[in-house]
Chain A
Amino acid sequence: MSDEEKFDAIIIGAGPAGAACAYVLAKEGKSVILVERGATAGEKNLTGGRLYTYAMELVEPGLYKQAPMQRKVVREQIMMMSANSAITADYVNYDFNTDMPQSFTVLRAPFDEWFAGKAEEQGAMLACGILVEDLIEKDGKIVGVRAGDDEIYANVVIAADGINSFIAQKAGLRDDITAHSVGVGAKEIIELPSSVIQDRFNLNGDEGAARVIIGGTEGVLGGGFLYTNQESISLGVVLNPADIARSGKKIHDILQELKMHPAIYPLIKDGTTVEYGAHLVPELGFSGMPKKLYRDGLVVVGDAAGMCMNTGTILRGIDLAIVSGVAAARAIIANEGASDIGVAYMQELEKLQLLPTMRLYGKYHELLSNPRMISTYPNMMNEIMKMMFSVDGTLPKRIDKAIFGIVKKHVTFGQILADGWKGFKATT
């Protein structure tokens, strides 16, 4: 293949990272091919989920207004679940929906297809239905990709092929993922009329609610989530695969139990499940990222680079993917020589605050992998609430003694101190 037929960039995977990168590059006049294994962009992809809008603004200000978003999130909810009860903290703030809403709930099939289409409008070539099987290496530099009998060449290859990233593995940048470094998510899309969703969640018009669920996973490490879409609810769980294996409980069974939980069922009743999906999620945050995100002729972005974070209240992935796609594009635009792109990409990730933020939350996963966080404390809090609201005509215990009694039943003070210390260490 001659130089004229060589692309400036080959992007593997038309998810948000790939599409963002393709959009920015194509807009700058670079020749870009965006290769996607699905018959359409988005059909292989799954989220909880939500998208924080700031990331779209980096791609092109105002572009998000055209996107097939679901609902503007104004209600942030935390649910602490026990077998038959739940405590729900419902924080509503309409500042989250000002001129630019802070975040939207999204469905990935329509969103990713739209986003890849926008990159195409900017001049990127979108090649769907093609699975990239291998990289082409020459003199220690990645110079292209192989898909079946086809070979495509470019100045730089961007691995945006998701969590399983076989491309990053083939490039020697990381080993295969391990059971402890990921969560497996399973989700149902449950359709309900828009007005019913608004009534059940106290929403006006196109506003939405996002909920993290602590407990409700039958003691398996992980948690649940619920997002309101325009005309459906995304309900799911994300669990640690090693702990699922240990427990012997199946993830789809845990999700079915969650659906029938007395505090969840009224929110989804009369709904119709229309889709079931499963996907892996990077769980270790910064420490789960490959040590190196580039080599000569290749950079790794998004989930493939382990860019995901969970603070317990905030779950981020799609926005980080988009930011990294933009960072890669900026590095490519600023550097003609492929060998300088990697370093420039890392600088962009620092400048765009992606790496500093991931470092800041670097140890949060240690907190969330504490089994007491997902069953002992939720059960204890629920029991305290029950005591505080119970009246049966007998003489109640003095409240301090009652609380002390409940706490002692669930944990030792040594454990509370240890968990408190761990929490302090992880967050400071």
Chain B
Amino acid sequence: MTVKKLTPEELLGLDKFAVDEEEPHIVLDKTICAKCVDKPCLVVCPAVLYTLKDGEMNFDYAGCLECGTCRVVCKDKGIIKWTYPRGTFGVAYRNG
């Protein structure tokens, strides 16, 4: 193996996740996001989970590293819910 630039998908593929299929721990109000001019979440999420699809904000909570950065930069409060995943769910670092 040699060191090379890795994509966010490749990086997240290395991590262990127990995805809570029943209850997303982060929820957006996309109508608020649509009106947000800066959309800083698109840039700051270390896992790049916020994307624009046909102009609409798209978020995949499955690869979330639970850092909280999106919440602290969210200006228009389109993130209407940000909690930690329910117990045992979410990312599980083996090194940390």
Given A37-B84, A131-B86, A184-B44: A44 in contact with B3 (beta carbons within 8 A): no
Q: How far is the CA of A330 from the CA of B79 in the complex (A)?
A: 40
Q: Which residues of B contact A280 (CB under 8 A)?
A: 67-69, 72
Q: How far is the CA of A353 from the CA of B92 in the complex (A)?
A: 34
The interface residues of chain A, by DSSP majority, are classed as: mixed
Which residue of B3, B66, B69 is within 8 Å of A273 (Cβ)? Answer: B3
Which residue of A39, A190, A271 is within 8 Å of B18 (Cβ)? Answer: A39
Q: Which residues of A contact B72 (CB under 8 A)?
A: 176-179, 182, 241, 280
The answer to whether B3 touches A112 (Cβ under 8 A) is no
Given A131-B86, A131-B87, A176-B72: A47 in contact with B96 (beta carbons within 8 A): yes
The answer to whether B47 touches A278 (Cβ under 8 A) is yes
Kindly identify, within residues 1 to 55 of chain B, every residue whose CB is under 8 Å from any CB belonging to chain A: 1-6, 8, 11-12, 14-15, 18, 38, 40, 43-44, 46-48
Q: How far is the CA of A104 from the CA of B66 in the complex (A)?
A: 26
Kindly identify, within residues 143 to 157 of chain A, every residue whose CB is under 8 Å from any CB belonging to chain B: 147
Q: Which residues of A contact B6 (CB under 8 A)?
A: 188, 256, 273, 276
Q: Is B73 an interface residue (CB 8 A)?
A: yes
Q: Which of B40, B48, B93 has the most CB of A within 10 A?
A: B93
The answer to whether A42 touches B96 (Cβ under 8 A) is yes
Given A245-B40, A273-B14: A108 in contact with B93 (beta carbons within 8 A): yes
The answer to whether B14 touches A275 (Cβ under 8 A) is yes
The answer to whether B3 touches A190 (Cβ under 8 A) is yes
Tell me how many residues of A have a C-beta within 8 Å of chain B: 64
Kindly identify, within residues 181 to 206 of chain A, every residue whose CB is under 8 Å from any CB belonging to chain B: 182, 184, 186, 188-190
Q: How far is the CA of A363 from the CA of B19 in the complex (A)?
A: 41
B12 to chain A: closest residue by CB: A276
A39 to chain B: closest residue by CB: B88
Q: How far is the CA of A273 from the CA of B25 in the complex (A)?
A: 28
- Kindly state the interface size class of chain B when it binds its partner: 35 or more
Q: Which residues of B contact A251 (CB under 8 A)?
A: 44, 46
Q: How far is the CB of B69 from chain A (nearest CB, A)?
A: 5
Q: Is A391 an interface residue (CB 8 A)?
A: no
Q: How far is the CB of B1 from chain A (nearest CB, A)?
A: 4
* Partner-binding segment picked from A262-270, A308-316, A379-387, A392-400: A262-270
Q: How far is the CB of B49 from chain A (nearest CB, A)?
A: 11
The answer to whether B96 touches A249 (Cβ under 8 A) is no
The answer to whether A270 touches B3 (Cβ under 8 A) is yes
Q: Which residues of B contact A249 (CB under 8 A)?
A: 43
Given A241-B44, A250-B43, A276-B12: A256 in contact with B93 (beta carbons within 8 A): no
The answer to whether A43 touches B96 (Cβ under 8 A) is yes
Q: How far is the CA of A108 from the CA of B90 in the complex (A)?
A: 17
Q: Which residues of B contact A179 (CB under 8 A)?
A: 72-73
The answer to whether A184 touches B2 (Cβ under 8 A) is no
B5 to chain A: closest residue by CB: A256
Q: Which residues of B contact A276 (CB under 8 A)?
A: 6, 11-12, 14-15
Kindly identify, within residues 118 to 150 of chain A, every residue whose CB is under 8 Å from any CB belonging to chain B: 128-131, 133, 147
Which residue of B8, B67, B94 is within 8 Å of A184 (Cβ)? Answer: B67
Q: Which residues of B contact A270 (CB under 8 A)?
A: 1-3
Which residue of A112, A242, A247, A277 is within 8 Å of B65 (Cβ)? Answer: A277
Which residue of B67, B71, B88 is within 8 Å of A129 (Cβ)? Answer: B88
Contact with B along A164-179 (1 / 0, CB 8 A): 1010000000001111
Q: How far is the CB of B90 from chain A (nearest CB, A)?
A: 7
Q: Which residues of A contact B96 (CB under 8 A)?
A: 42-43, 45-47, 107-112, 277
A274 to chain B: closest residue by CB: B14
Q: How far is the CB of A217 from chain B (nearest CB, A)?
A: 14
Q: How far is the CA of A257 from the CA of B6 in the complex (A)?
A: 10
The answer to whether B66 touches A44 (Cβ under 8 A) is yes
Apart from A107-B96, A166-B83, A278-B65, list 7 A-B contacts with CB within 8 A: A184-B44, A189-B95, A241-B44, A245-B44, A260-B5, A271-B1, A273-B3
A-B pairs with beta carbons under 8 Å apart, 19 shown: A37-B84, A38-B88, A39-B18, A39-B87, A44-B91, A45-B93, A107-B96, A108-B96, A177-B72, A179-B72, A186-B46, A188-B11, A241-B40, A241-B69, A260-B4, A268-B3, A269-B2, A277-B91, A278-B46
Q: Which residues of B contact A (CB under 8 A)?
A: 1-6, 8, 11-12, 14-15, 18, 38, 40, 43-44, 46-48, 65-69, 71-73, 83-88, 90-96
